[in-house]
Structure 1
Amino acid sequence: MIEYQALPQNKILCVDMKSFYASCAAVIEGLDPLTCYVAVVGNQERQGSVVLAASPRLKKEFGIKTGSRLFEIPNDPRIRVIEPKMATYLRISTEISRVFNRYVPKEAIHTYSVDESFIKVDGALHLWGDAKTIARKIKDDIEREFQLPCAVGIGPNMLMAKLCLDIEAKKKGIAEWTFADVPEKLWSIAPLREMWGIGRRLEKTLNSMGIFSVGQLARYDLEKLEKKFGIMGNQLYYHAWGIDLSDLGAPLIEGQISFGKSQILLRDYKDDAEIRHVILEMCEEVARRARTHRKAGRTVSLGIGYSKEEFGGGFHRARTIEQPTNVTMELYRVCLELFYENYTGHTVRNISITLGAITDDREVQLSLFDLGAEKRRQLGYVVDRIRDRFGSGALLRAVSYTAAGTAKQRATLVGGHKM
């Protein structure tokens, strides 16, 4: 049994803006986010364009959700298809953070994503009331000032607050979980992919071990989990008991840190030279993201999705290299190996690249037999500084100026979409 009395008993709010992009678009158009039928679509000129967000009612009544395609939206006069205004959405997100700042100092706020934030309110309880009272005040402020709906989960740590949000608060508006709720509310979660931090691939592995619910995970032998998953096995076990000792803003499962990028291509790519050009551009972006956090990785993953016109399919493969890296061309070399070993010549429509098995860049050991390694590493940081100062499009590889390149056009977007 876990001795919860010895653990920190914080009051952390996890605030989620309901269907944020769609709700913002609705308010801008003078509509009620909870009753209108709104879909935010990246490019209305392409029938295959992805739905970036859908209002709650559109999801419920028409089954249109994030990731659906424009051609799937019914021809119904009630439905409004709106192009995104990403810069506006980001400004609204910033203003919402200012609402949080009325109740707690900035260091007690962690912006997890554009529509989700964690807020530690322990130091504000004597000023504003208990955690539920503060949550209600924040919720009311946002709805009154922005006409935007939100939900708030409250827990003793970030993990419990997030789980409370996803499982209960999104239905009720505001909910709170304590460690006493673990057996009834946390352990009953099934299938496992509904547990924050467990994806379908990990769920499949756990299922093969006879684990189908969070309760079964909590009762599984810890040594066996650690032997199978390493440090992540330890964290999975304790997360099943609702325990998360990470500081505000730290990743909830540190063993799962990775840097990646996926891209749905604007057209079908059949020529392997064109596909290589896009892979190189994406390796550049993944490497840059790793360098931004002063990290490097040993496991390189490449996913290729084929066009639906050729009945879909594709492959996802990974390779672990000897030395951690965040150098673009080293990632590109591994991705090319995976590509040519598995590519079957089909038309490509989706590419994803991930760098995992992350370590601190300062801990990377240089080889005595590769005298140019440090120079290549530092060159990446120099390029990053130029782009940070003058913009992502200030310095591009030559492939980005070819017909296959996408980076030049994407450099004009905010969050990958129109401003």
Structure 2
Amino acid sequence: MTAQTDVLLVIGSGQQRYREYLLASAAERHPVWLIDAAEPTWQRPHVTGWNVVPLLDRDRLVPDRERILATVQEIAAAHRIAGVFTYDETLVTTAALIAEKLGLPGLTADGADRCRNKHRTRAALTQAGLPQPRFALAYTLAEAREAAASVGFPMVLKPRGMGASIGVVRVDDPAAFDDAFTMAERAGHGGSPDYEGGVLLEEFMTGPEISVDGVSVEGVYEPVFLAHKQTGFAPYFEETGHVVDAADPLLTDPELLRVLRSAHEALHVSTGITHTEVLFTARGPVVVEVNARLGGDLIPWLGELATGISPGRVAADLALGHHPDLTPTEHRTAGIRFAYPPHDCRVQSVSVPSPTTLPGLLQAEPIAPEGTELRLPPSGYLSRYAYVICTAPDHPTCEKRLTEATAATRLTHTPLP
């Protein structure tokens, strides 16, 4: 039996709607000690203890690592820290640094940074000989204009350190370039201050896109969940839905596995869980990015519904130095679809269908309260007013059920200028 003083350190708890299931399942695996920016509320049933500390020091424009590390030392004086992890994109390098300093399993700080910094990712994968788009990094409009000639049109601009496709835009010709660069650069200032500034210019490549949540144990990578991604609002890449099929044949595709394993080796991912986005192009599977954390948008929850494998327990096991059990106990398909407004608006009311009224509808949730301003790209991102989750025996049936459930959501709104 684990001693009370033996704790798993979790840095940042995230939003309850999207992350509570991870914290709860990690706590089922091991007593959790939470470091977060505010007093816990919904987190309390899942944690043994906590410390409140500012996670970001916005005055100095850097994560407040000194204060976080000092807090970790205080915790270590009273408890044995058995492992540390985070599912917060802004904190992955901080968590890796803590694990490294304490000699715990996990990514190295360098490995986490190679994933977090999209320019370092591209450079490492190119050096490893993996198929990659032509790319360049620019911090100013003048630098970007000069680099654009080597990348060529059409191209994709993306902030150096953001996630969830925030600030990512396709540019088809020089006439639209200046405005697109300014938008992408501005969007890059909404995340971790360590990665503010800098826009990656990439050759535009086409093809279906997937994401893979997988695990690495001492450098050996295995996929766990594979989601097919839906995007909208071109020329932007807003993520509108995901579908996970437990029996997806891509999970055993030799070329995809080779690319995933080679990419993780090139990025020095030793032990940990990652969320990798892959585009299937004419050149074969191309890695879009590797995130040193579990996926967002409830993708890991879809994976659990589809396979029965608990992503929170897997993450906890990896942090504790255990080899996680990746044996599926379910074999079905699960998907999520997000509802977006037709234009920029202020929400008056949202209604969603009851799970008892539609086949396969597991959950339908309004996520934009009355008075919320929803602005579509490029004025805003992730401006969703509801989501629906459906399960089905196969992928086509799941897509059909998601479409029916999304059509049954209702938004009453007033337009914004």
Asked if these proteins are the same fold (TM beyond 0.5), I'd say no
| Structure (1/2) with the larger strand percentage | 2
Using the size of structure 2 for normalisation, the TM-score is 0.28
Whichever of the two has the greater Rg, that structure is: 1
| Structure (1/2) with the larger helix percentage | 1
